[in-house]
Homo-oligomer: A and B are copies of this chain.
Amino acid sequence: MFELLQEYFAQRTNIDEASFEHICSYFKPLKAKKNEILQMKGERSKYYYFVNKGCIRLFTVNEDGEEATRYFAFEGAFGGSLPSLIRQSPAFEFVQAIEPSELMAISRDDFFHLVDTVPAVAKIYRLILEAAFITAQERIYGFQNLTALEKLRWLLNYQPRILSRLSGRMVASFLGVTPYTLSRLKAEL
């Protein structure tokens, strides 16, 4: 149950057994069906999720109904609407399971309580923020002034798993191109 989470902490901190079990007591297991929405846009985000199995994505929908995906969390990663969790403001994005998934949920308040009281969690949170920021920053540079083909090549270099594992629709909404264009480009790779 907690193996992946333990690995996650072990690789990033030197946490003792007791602290880790204390942390685990705050997480609740949760199964999500394919396409199940865990968090609506506009709602205040209540939970942060750790993925044991499957995949969740963060995306928004604009007024024309187009989806824009920002992030996929696979096994062994945290996922959730961090901006909403941080600011306790209405989320600007949806959280959705895009495969049948097994998740561990921790409430917003419990998470930040742990951040404030358990040094190992404070460190994890700092690492999460640093990595999230760096990823976002790479993506801004990676997409600015790039053609659709160049973005596809970028994805092939930086996050090939997204290409190989997920549907074209998902990839397209991540790259910011239409599925039509993506299909053509994959042909000429």
Give me the interface of A with B, judged by CB distance under 8 Å: 60, 62, 66, 68, 70, 82-83, 86-87, 92-93, 125-126, 129-130, 132-134, 136-141, 143-145, 176
Contacts and interface: CB of A to CB of B under 8 A. Distances in A.
A80 to B, nearest CB: 12
B86 A145 contact: no
Majority SS of interface residues in chain A?
A: helix
Contacts of A66: 145
B92 A141 contact: yes
A68 B129 contact: no
User: How many copies altogether?
Assistant: 2
Contacts of A138: 83, 92
A167 to B, nearest CB: 18
Nearest to A66: B145
Nearest to A176: B144
A177 B72 CA distance: 28
B93 A141 contact: yes
A92 B139 CA distance: 12
A55 to B, nearest CB: 19
Contacts of A83: 133-134, 137-138
A134 B86 contact: yes
Contact of A129 (B60, B126, B141, B176): B126
Contacts of A86: 130, 134
Contact of A140 (B134, B139, B145): B139
A129 B136 CA distance: 12
B136 A140 contact: yes
Given A82-B133, A126-B129, A144 B68 contact: yes
